[in-house]
Structure formats: C-alpha cells, structure tokens
Amino acid sequence: MSTQVSSAVVAGAGIVGCVQALLLARVGFDVTLVDAADSVPALSDKAMADNAMAVRSVAVSYRSQQLLASAGLWSDLGCPIHSVLVNEQGRFGAVRFHANEFSVPALGYVIKNHLLEEQLYQLIDAEPGITLVKPASVQLIQPVSNPLCLQIVSADQTQTADAQLLVAADGTGSSLRAQLGIEVNTTDYEQCALVANVLCQRDHGNVAFERFTDSGPLALLPLDERRMALVYTVHAHRADEIRSLTDQQLIDEIQQRFGGRLGRIQDIGPRAVLPLMLTESQQQTHGCSVLIGNAARTLHPVAGQGLNLALRDVFELAGQLANEPEVEIALGKFVSARRPDQQFVVRQTDTLAKVFRKHRWPLSASLGFARQSSLLLLDSVKPLRGKFGRRNAGMGIPLTPLGH
Ligand SMILES: Cc1cc2nc3c(=O)[nH]c(=O)nc-3n(C[C@H](O)[C@H](O)[C@H](O)COP(=O)(O)OP(=O)(O)OC[C@H]3O[C@@H](n4cnc5c(N)ncnc54)[C@H](O)[C@@H]3O)c2cc1C
C-alpha cells in the first residue's frame, strides 16, 4: 500500500469527468482522475469508429461548443446544425429555428463521442497536473473531513489519498453519491429510447429534426453526409419488441413516423434500447464533495440538454474554485449560481417528456390543442421564439470565468 497526496479526486472519466479534470488542472489543482472501466473509451470505440453506422453521438449547443473552444478542448469536431425543425406528426404547427436569426454560425454541433473522448484522453495524457488511474474505484473513508480521506482501489493495489475536493462524475448509478448518503428523486417515464444511426436517401442539409409522433419524440440529428443519428422514444412496454424487430421492420416504423422529408431510409446501424428516467440528487454537494453530470441529474434526452447542462456546471465549478480558495465556500457559491439554470432545464425537459409522450389512451382534445397551440405560438410570437431558441442554444446564461 502506498500513499499519494492530491488536491482533487475526480471519480468517473466520461466526457463530463474528463472536462472537469482538465479545467481543475488548468486552475491549479493537482488532479487524480479515476475510472472504473478497464479500457480507454476512445480505443474501445475504435471498432465502432470503423463502422460509421455504429458510432454514438451527442448534440452540443453553440454555447457548449464556445465553452469547450475557450478552454482549448474543441477542434472542429462536429457536424454543425444550421437549423432545427420541430413538428408533430399528423398536426399543423411547426417551428423552425435558424442559426442566422441568432447571429451564430450554428445552433449546435453533433459530435461523435469517440472523437471527443479520444481528444480529451490525449489532452489528459499531456497534462502534467492529472494522474489517470484505471480501472479503479474511489472509496470514501472520511466523507466530511477536510482534507477528505479516500481510497483508490484497483485490482492490484489500494492507494490512500488526501483531497481538498472530490468530484463524483461516476454516472447515473453513482456509488459515491450513495457513499455520501445523498438521496435521489426518480421519475420513471415508462419510456425507452432507441438509439441508432440511419442512412437517408437525401442529404440532411445540416437540419436537426425533432418530431413528436404518436409513439413519442423522434429526433434525427445530422451526423455526416446522408447519415443521421436517431433517438426514437417508445413506450417501455415495447422495449423487447423494438429490440427484436428486423432492420427492415424498424426502418418501416421510423419512416412511417418521420415521413418522407429525407427520402427513403436506406439503412440502419446497430441499435441500443435504454430506459428513460429523470434521476435528480436531493443535494449536489456534501462538505468538500460535489456531484456532477449524470451523477447529479440524469435527464430525458427529448431536449438534448443533459451534457450541455453538465458542461455549464463543470465550467462554473472551475470558475468558482479559481476565485475562491476555500473549497466549501466555492461549492456553496457554485450551487447558488447554477440552481436557476438547473431548475429551468429539468422543468422544461420533464414537461416536454410528459406532454409529448405516447399515451396508451386517446389523447384528450385539450391536451392535443395545448400541444398544437404551443408549437404555433412558438412559431409566430417573435420574442417567444427568440427567447426559446437562445435558451436552448445555451446563450445568455451567466457563468463565472476561469482565472479572474
Ligand atoms: C439516448 C440519449 C441521447 C442523449 N443525447 C444528448 C444530446 O444530444 N445532448 C446532450 O447534451 N445530452 C444528451 N444526452 C445526455 C448525455 O449523454 C449525458 O448527459 C452525458 O453522457 C453524461 O455524462 P457523464 O460523464 O456524467 O456520465 P457517463 O457518461 O455515464 O460517465 C460516467 C463514467 O463514470 C465511470 N464510473 C462509473 N462508476 C464508477 C466508479 N464507481 N468509480 C469510478 N468511475 C466510475 C464510468 O466508467 C464512466 O466512464 C443523451 C442521453 C441519452 C441517454
């Protein structure tokens, strides 16, 4: 057994944990980044990357792209989204947002996860202020002491570490959250998301589509050439059925829900079917520990906001810690600063997920009217459109700059 002293331990080296570790190192922390997985994601995804139909992707807003670029964590990674079209199957009312009307080059970018992860791992490798330990997990010995006393447990050794700060970025099922005694509130949407890439007959023209169908929301995001990333929401009772459909049956179902806007769907890649829940931690900090990313809150993907919200948290946390040497005080300021944005995004996403979900009973006239009117209203009332569009691109949300 050996002893290592470090200022910050970040548990979880997903996208969120990696960005957090890099920012903490930039603002002067000596970081130990610990991940439970036994492979480097970028490398394990290599086989996937070789198969263009199998890559997984995520849409980041213009603001997220700007934040990543400002920290040198962005290098022309994604497919730009020039406009977003939101509509509902079988009803009038559609909203189209263009990048031009917000004076930005793109509303967002669709990034292939393995490219971003690969870049983050290269930056971590080159960063002297970060030690990456994997596969390993973090055990809390003294959750309320300052410095915190932790153990980093891997197959062949257990290291004891003192840390002024613990960041738990260990995902939805966060074991550190449980060790800290932080409870979660869970809403089961009784829905699941089918994630896959599709090849369409026509070029996507850098348009992202969000269509509310009689099954649930269906998003098609521009990936490259004629390839789109699909997130298709169905009721949970269809999870097994949707897994076992043949590719052609699935293509037919999606085509019927989406229509012919992109011509025929010609191919579909490997699919994943995931249950959808809102998981919200009852508190985000405990002493000198903080939950971040999915460990803090996991959202329904309907509005594509989970990673965007987490990135704003990650930057604010680093900004507060850069300005305030007392970690507990900085965490308190972080929580106050971020609460309005977090509450807004959780509420908006939860409302969208519930209002537009598949009903197993006939849709009431009033709910149908409300859905249709909200789309019409959004399209026709200029200030409302502007506000909604800017908010969803993450613009105008104040964050504490790093290093002032
Ligand atoms: C279908 C779908 C589509 C989505 N689309 C979008 C989108 O378009 N835009 C958007 O902004 N968001 C989107 N999201 C949300 C986004 O994917 C998440 O917000 C983001 O992946 C959260 O990343 P994370 O790093 O917090 O968690 P994770 O990616 O889960 O990473 C957790 C990490 O912790 C590690 N770990 C786990 N346990 C331990 C442990 N005990 N010790 C150490 N390490 C541990 C894991 O190995 C992993 O590397 C989508 C989500 C879904 C499900």
Residues whose CB falls within 8 Å of the CB of residue 395, separated by 6 or more in sequence, listed in order: 62, 63, 102, 104
Give 6-47 pLDDT, tens digit per residue: 489 999 999 999 999 999 999 999 999 999 998 765 544 555
pTM for the whole structure: 0.92
How far is residue 246's CA from residue 257's CA, in Å, rounded to a whole number?
17
More confident residue, 384 or 114: 114
Candidates 97, 161, 157; CA nearest to 378 is 97
CA–CA separation, 132 vs 13, rounded Å? 9
Pairing of strands 184-200, 265-268: antiparallel
Residue 164 lies in a domain: yes
Spatial distance between the Cα atoms of 156 and 154, rounded to a whole number of angstroms: 6
Q: CB of 153 closer than 6 A to ligand 1?
A: no
What is the C-alpha separation between 212 and 216, in angstroms, rounded?
6
Whether residue 223 lies inside any domain: the answer is no
In a domain, 265, yes or no: no
Task: State whether the beta carbon of 9 lies less than 6 angstroms from ligand 1.
Answer: no
Which H or E run includes 103?
A: none
Instruction: Identify whether 220 is part of a domain.
Output: no
Q: Give domain status of residue 80, yes or no.
A: no
Q: Which of 7-16, 297-306, 358-367, 386-395 has the lowest mean pLDDT?
A: 358-367
Question: ∠ CA(215), CA(219), CA(222), 5° rounding?
Answer: 155
Rounded to the nearest 5 percent, the helix, strand and coil shares of the chain are 40, 30, 30
271 and 196 Cβ atoms separated by less than 8 Å? yes
Each residue's pLDDT tens digit, 141-182: 877 778 899 999 998 899 998 899 999 999 999 999 999 999
- What is the average pLDDT value for the chain, to the nearest integer? 88
230-281 pLDDT, tens digit per residue, is 999 999 999 999 999 999 999 999 999 999 999 999 999 999 999 999 999 9
Q: Which of 58, 67, 111, 311 to mutate to test the pocket of ligand 1 (most atoms within 8 A of CB)?
A: 58
Residue 148 is part of a domain; what is its CATH number?
3.50.50.60
Rounded distance from Cα 295 to ligand 1 centre (Å): 9
- In short, whether 61's Cβ falls inside 6 Å of ligand 1 is no
DSSP summary character for residue 373: H
Query: Do the domain assignments include residue 263?
Result: no
Lowest-confidence region among 275-289, 333-347, 373-387:
373-387
- What's the number of domains the chain is made of? 1
Distance 15 CA to ligand 1 centre (A): 7
Would residue 370 count as lying in a domain? Answer: no
* Confidence check: pLDDT of 334 > 90: yes
Q: What number does the ligand 1 atom closest to the CA of 231 have?
A: 1
Q: Which domain holds residue 158?
A: 3-52+114-185+277-352
Ligand 1 binding pocket includes 341 (Cβ within 6 Å) = no
Give the model's confidence band at 352: pLDDT under 50 very low, under 70 low, under 90 confident, else very high. Answer: confident
Q: Which atom of ligand 1 is nearest to the CA of 272?
A: 1
Q: Is 138 in the pocket of ligand 1 (CB under 6 A)?
A: yes
